[in-house]
Chain A
Amino acid sequence: MIKNVLIKMELEGNGIVNRDSSGQKYIIDAFDIKNLKGHKSNNNVLYAKKNFYKDEDGNVSYKIKISRDALMHDIFKNDIISQNPNVVHHDASLYSYIASPISILRGYLFANKTETIKRDGVITLCDAEQTDGALSSIEVCSRSGQKEEDKDVVDNSLFFKETVGDIKYLTTGNLDLTKLQFITCDNVFGRYSFNPDKFGLFKEFLTKNLPNFSSELDYYQLTGSAIDIPEYGVLLSNENVIFLVKEALKRMLGLNIKRKDAYARVSSLKIKFVENPLEDIFNNEYGWIELRNEQDVDSLDFEPQSFYNKVDLEEAKKLRKAIEDKKKEVDKVKIDDKKKKEEQKKNRSNKTESNDE
C-alpha cells in the first residue's frame, strides 16, 4: 500500500529563467559576493533568484534557483494560463474549473462575499536549486529606445543583467495521496473545497473529467487520528487517484521553461513509492523509479493506501454534535460582536451629530 510518492527531478538548461527584483543588490553587497557586487547605485539590474549559504568561516556563497511557482506554472502551462477571479461569478464556470484534474492537483482558492472555497495543492516541490559549479556574472546590455522627432536624441539605455552558461538544477518534492484522495466540503477543519448543495453540478464535471467517477458525499474519518470527528466530503476511488497521479507525472515530464535568452527542461524524473515513511526516504538510494517518457508513467502499477474510513450517518451525527455546538457558539459570538460594533458605530455617529449641532 502506497502512502506517498517522493519526487526527485533534475533539470538542465542555459541562462537564467527566473529573475528576482533589483532589491537583491543590497543583499549581495551586504554578503560581499565578489562576482556580483558593486551595483548598489544602479536601479536597472536584473538578478537571478538564488539561495544564500554561510559556511563555518562566515563566507557566504549562493546557488541559482528556479522558484517553485515558476516550476508549477510551467507544469500546468498547457492547462491554464492564469487563475482568474472572474470564474467565481458563475457557478458553471467555477465548478467546471474546480472539478478539473488540474484544480484537484494544483489546488485553488476563490473568495466570494459569503463563501470561500479552497483546496490545498497535492504537489509539493522545493525550489529547484543549482547543483553544478556554474558561476554567474553581471553583463552590460543595451536596450533600443525611441528616436525623438526633429532631435538628434535616441532613448537607448544600458542595463545590467546576471547571466550564466550551462547549468543544472535539482528539485525534490512529493505527491500527497492523503490530500489527493479526499475532496472535503466541511468547514470544521478549514478546508471547504466546494458547496455540498452544489454537489450535483460538481459531480457532473467530475464524471466528465475522471474515469468511472461514481463517489458520493459521505462522512469520513481520518485513520489513526486522535480527533474523532468525521469530515463530510467525497472520497475518490483508487482508480481516480492513480489516474490523477499519472496525469501529474506526465505534466512534470513535459516541464520546459523557455525564455527568449534562456531555458531549463527536465533531464531526469525519478519517483519513489513510500510504503514505510521511515525507510523510503530521500537519503535511501533504493527504490527510485526513473521515468523517461509517458509510456513509463502509464506502465506504473501501484495501490494507494486509503487514509479515510467511511462513518455511518448516525454515528457521524453523534460524533459531530459537540463540535457543531461549538461552531454555533463561535457563530453566536461573531453575531454578537457585529451587533456590538454596529451599536458603537451608531452611538459614535449620534455623538458626532450632537456635537455638530
Chain B
Amino acid sequence: MMNNYLLLKFKSARLFRKSGKNNKNLRTKDFSFNLDGSYSKRDELPSFVEPITVHQISNMLYVLFNERPVSTLKGSLYNKNEYLFEKAKDSFMKIETPKYKKFENEDYPTEIIQTKKAVWNSFNPSIVLDWEIVRRYIDDKDKFDTFVSNLNTCFKFNPTSIPFNKLIDLVSGLEIEIRIALYASIKELKGCDGLIYCFGRYDKGNFAAPDLSKLTNKTINCSAKTINNGIENVYVLSGEIVVPVSDDDLNILKNYSKGYANILDGGFVWIEKIIPSKNFNNDEYNLVGDISLEMNLPAKTMEL
C-alpha cells in the first residue's frame, strides 16, 4: 500500500532536441552509441515530442532504486523492471521552467552550450598548413630533407624560409614541366602523395585546386587536425516529480539507494522530502501515465 509520496526535485536537466514543422526532427551532428560498441547518427532516430515521458522517469527511478536503466530507443539486452515502470506511470510531474511564445507556439527557453567532439574523424575543415605539420606528415628526416632539397632546386632558395602556405602559391606559378617534375620527385618519396594534392594534383592535362585536407585528415603521424568542440542549443529544465512509495520501497531506498539520480542529460534529481499521502495535492501536477508518447520523425529516414 502506498502510504507516502516521495518528493523529488530536478534541476539543470538538458534536452538536446530540435524539431521542425510536421513533427520531424531537425538535422543534428550528434551521434548515438549502440550496444555493439559502434555508433550511428542521431538523425536516424526518432524522439519523443514531450521533453520528459514515462520512459525518462522510469529510468530515473531505476537508478534511484539502484537498478540498471533501460534504453528506450536503442534497445537493451535485459528487460525493464515492470514494478518501477508502473510506479513511474503513477507518478506526478511538473516542469517549473516557464514556456515563452515563439512564433505561433510556446516553447521552453534554450541556451547555447559548448559541446565536446568525441568522434575520431572530427577533422577541422579550416586548415592552415605550416612546416611542422608537413614534417609530421612525412615523418622521416631523410624524406623531409629530400623534399626540401627538391624544392630548393626549383626555387633556388631555402623554401623553409617562407611559410608553407605561401609556397603552395609559388608552386602553382611554376612552369608546367618543372611542376610535374616536382610531383614526380614527391612520388618517389613514397607514402607522401598528400603533398601532391596539397599543391594541386595534375590530372588529364589540368591542375586541380589545392586540397590541404590530405595532410590533416590523416590519422597517423600526429598530423591530424581535429575540432575540439562545437556549440549546440539546449533546453535546460527544472521541476518536481512526486512518486508514490510503500513502506517496502522506502526500505529499499534506505538500504540500497544513493539518494540521487539523473534525468535527461546531466539533470540532478534529489530526494527533497517524504510527504504522507493525505497531505499531497496533485492539482499542479501532470500524471506521468497521461503524458503523450507521440514521437517526432527522424531527421533522416533510413534507406531500406
Binding site for B on A (CB under 8 A): 3-4, 6, 20-21, 23-24, 26-27, 30-31, 49, 51-54, 60, 67-69, 82-86, 88-89, 109-116, 118, 124-127, 172-174, 176-178, 187-190, 192, 222-227, 229, 274, 276-278, 280-283, 307, 323, 326-327, 330-331, 334, 341, 344-345
Contacts and interface: CB of A to CB of B under 8 A. Distances in A.
Centre residue among B31, B77, B238, B274 by max chain A CB count within 10 A: B77
A52 B38 contact: no
Contacts of B253: 277-278
Contacts of B254: 276-278
A312 B262 CA distance: 31
A68 B12 contact: yes
A226 B35 contact: no
Given A49-B111, A276-B254, A277-B271, A176 B260 contact: yes
Interface in B34-93: 35-39, 66-68, 71, 74-78, 81
10 contacts: A3-B257, A23-B112, A24-B109, A52-B100, A53-B98, A109-B118, A277-B257, A323-B77, A323-B78, A326-B77
B78 A88 contact: no
Given A31-B100, A51-B97, 8 more contacts: A4-B260, A23-B112, A82-B116, A111-B120, A187-B37, A224-B256, A226-B67, A326-B77
A277 B112 CA distance: 34
Nearest to B66: A224
A4 B259 contact: yes
B114 A69 contact: yes
Contacts of B81: 226-227
B1 interface: no
A114 B111 CA distance: 33
Contacts of A280: 259
B234 to A, nearest CB: 10
Contacts of A187: 35-37
Given A30-B100, A83-B116, A323-B78, A190 B71 contact: yes
Contacts of B110: 23
Interface-centre pick from A26, A127, A174, A223 (highest chain B CB count, 10 A): A127
A341 B303 contact: yes
Contact of A227 (B78, B109, B112, B262): B78
A111 B78 contact: no
B98 A60 contact: yes
Contacts of B184: none
A248 B260 CA distance: 19
A51 B71 contact: no
Given A115-B37, A124-B266, A176-B258, A222 B273 contact: no
Given A52-B97, A176-B258, A187-B36, A227 B67 contact: yes
Contacts of A88: 120
Counting chain A CB atoms within 10 Å of each CB, which of B101, B236, B262, B273 scores highest?
B236
Contacts of B120: 85, 88-89, 110-113
